[in-house]
Amino acid sequence: MSDLLPYGNVGYEAFLVFLSYVYTGKVKASPVEVSTCVDDGCLHVACRPAISFAVELTYAASVFQVPELVSLFQRRLLNFVDKAIVEDVIPILVVAFHCQLQQVLSRCIDQVVRSDLDTISLEKELPFEVAQNVRSLRNNFQDNDEHTVEVESEGAILEKRIKSIHKALDCDDVELLNLILDESKITLDEACALHYVVSYCDKKVAKEVLDLNRADVNLRNSRGYTVLHVAAMRKEPSIIVSLLNKGANASDTTHDGQSAVSICRRLTRPKDYHAKIEHGQETNKDRICIDVLEREIRRNPMIGDVSVCSSEVADDLHMKLINLENRVAFARLLFPSEAKLAMEIAHAQTTSEFPGLLGSKGSNGNLREMDLNETPLVQNKRMLSRMEALSRTVEMGRRYFPHCSAVLDNFMKDELHELVDMENSALEEQEIKRTRYVELKEEVQRAFTKDKAELDRGLSSSMNTPTGRHGGKNKARKYS
């Protein structure tokens, strides 16, 4: 098959479907295990496995010259083009080019031209003449005034510098890369070099570039993808682990709400994910990538995976957000000054509050702030933004007010509903709750005193440190 298909691939299941048509004249339904993904929230109308299976059948029908099948699959591919993200349009464009499906090819080129797919991806992933055609069509959309010419000139200089970095990476020459960075006025971030090396270079080179520590691992490219999103598309476990070890955020989402793990799920077929592994056999890379990313999210429960299409995930997101809202609300109640400072550092006050237990107490809580016309996607993205801000608030609290945070940790384990809803309890229960409330106030005071004492000791020691100026010592001032 590789000799017959120098530009494509036909898998075992796709070839069986093709043979079935040859012998029976009927097209079998696509096997679910190879034409769907493992994302429970996906409708499978344009995910990569569905597209890949149609592409494989198109190659088979074209190579063995079965025109009625070619026509059928051409219609399927046209249906995918309008629904798929631009990265998934690429394999459709490639098969249309090699099998001379002009209608599909024209539609794909139009989609790519109108997209924000970068020039590097065009050159790397499209046939040369198609990439040239796309660039030419894009240039026709630009104005040719003097300002545009000036911008193009500056862009050409930057593009030349970026290409020099990419060539060094293509040659696996990290020493040359360092030399270019030291001598030219460009950074790895300006060249989106981590995105490039993670997408197209050997995994060892990717690790070496990461070890330089000269780039932001959470940088977004022009498409809004972080380096981890791009690594998820490649599905190379060692690169994903290296990025996570360098501080890549597994919860960051794309503009359409996809996290790294949901990207992996939408690229993975059930056949590969659920494959039985014999003793001593290697686990499928797709499965490893998903497991690693899910484990990272479980390790940091404050910010979970936000696959906006799953109702179960949405419910889980609600619960996590309510817990965070409650923790911060109690922090504001028990430690108002510290909580305010932590929220200011985390910019939490710029996000809209979600009604938690405290917010829902009363008649309407924060329902007036909710927009019933919002789509689930917009709602979940708004909740994610709030969750990230609150998580940063909790992190700041732990860093600067550890004893206060410890009190909150213990308090969150108590019966929150009972402590808050004291007036609706029986008399004996009210007495128990009042006792617990007094104990809590004492714990709060002790925690506040400890944090303040440690802060004062830190300030005192720093002020009494000799400066070494003129060979003398500066006396620290005392502040009461």
Average pLDDT over residues 285-297: 89
Query: What mean pLDDT is predicted for residues 262-270?
Result: 95
Q: Is residue 467 part of a domain?
A: no
Q: Which pLDDT score, from 0 to 100, does residue 190 have?
A: 92
Q: Are residues 31 and 79 in the same domain?
A: yes
pLDDT at 365 exceeding the cut of 90: no
Do 252 and 286 lie in a common domain? yes
| Number of C-beta neighbours around residue 308 at 10 A | 23
Each residue of 397-433: pLDDT tens digit?
A: 777 777 778 777 776 665 444 455 555 556 666 677 6
The answer to whether residue 443 scores a pLDDT higher than 80 is no
270 and 225 in one domain? yes
- Are 188 and 331 contained in the same domain? no
DSSP states along 234-297: HT-HHHHHHHHHTT--TT---TTS--HHHHHHHH--HHHHTPPPPTTPPPPHHHHHHHHHHHHH
Tell me which residue range forms the domain holding 208.
Answer: 150-216
What was the pLDDT predicted at 102? 95
What interhelical angle do 48-63 and 86-98 show, nearest 10?
A: 0
Residue 133 falls within a domain, yes or no? yes
Say if 3 falls within a structural domain.
Answer: no
Question: Is 478 among the domain residues?
Answer: no
On whether residue 242 sits in a domain, the answer given is yes
Confirm whether 468 is domain-assigned.
no
Q: Does residue 329 belong to any structural domain of this protein?
A: yes
pLDDT value at position 361?
40
For residue 336, what pLDDT is reported?
Answer: 79
Final residue in a domain of this structure, among 256, 276, 304: 304
Q: Pick the range with the lowest mean pLDDT from 7-16, 258-267, 377-386.
A: 377-386
Q: Is 312 in contact with 40 (CB distance < 8 Å)?
A: yes
For residues 238 and 177, membership in a common domain is answered with no
Whether residues 190 and 58 share a domain: the answer is no
Are 188 and 210 within one domain? yes
User: Taking the CA atoms of the chain, what radius of gyration do you get in angstroms?
Assistant: 29
Q: What is the mean pLDDT of residues 173-201?
A: 92
Count up the domains in the chain and report the number. Answer: 4
Closest CA to 251 of 310, 189, 219, 293: 293
298 lies in the same domain as 392: no
| 95 and 135 together in one domain | yes
How far apart CA 108 and CA 98 sit, in angstroms, is 13
Assess whether 452 and 348 both reside in one domain. Answer: yes
Whether residue 180 is predicted with pLDDT greater than 80 in this model: the reply is yes
What is the per-residue burial (b if ≥16 Cβ within 10 Å, else e) of 38-72? bbebbeeebbbbbbbbbbbbbbbbbbeebeebbeb
d(CA 87, CA 77): 14
pLDDT, mean over the chain: 79
Distance (Å, whole) CA 339 – CA 343: 6
Same domain, 178 and 211: yes
- DSSP string over 150-208: HHHHHHHHHHHHHHHHHHHHHTT-HHHHHHHHHHSS--TTTTTHHHHHHHHS-HHHHHH
Full-prediction pTM beyond 0.95? no
Q: Is residue 110 part of a domain?
A: yes
Is 222 found in the same domain as 348? no
Please report, rounded to a whole number, the percentage of residues in the chain having pLDDT higher than 90.
44
Rounded Cα–Cα distance for residues 402 and 276 (Å): 46
Among candidate residues 173, 188, 216, the one where a domain is terminated? 216
Higher-pLDDT residue of 304, 104 = 104
Q: What is the mean pLDDT of residues 217-230?
A: 94
Boundary residue ending a domain (288, 304, 320): 304
Asked whether residue 360 carries a pLDDT value surpassing 80, the answer given is: no
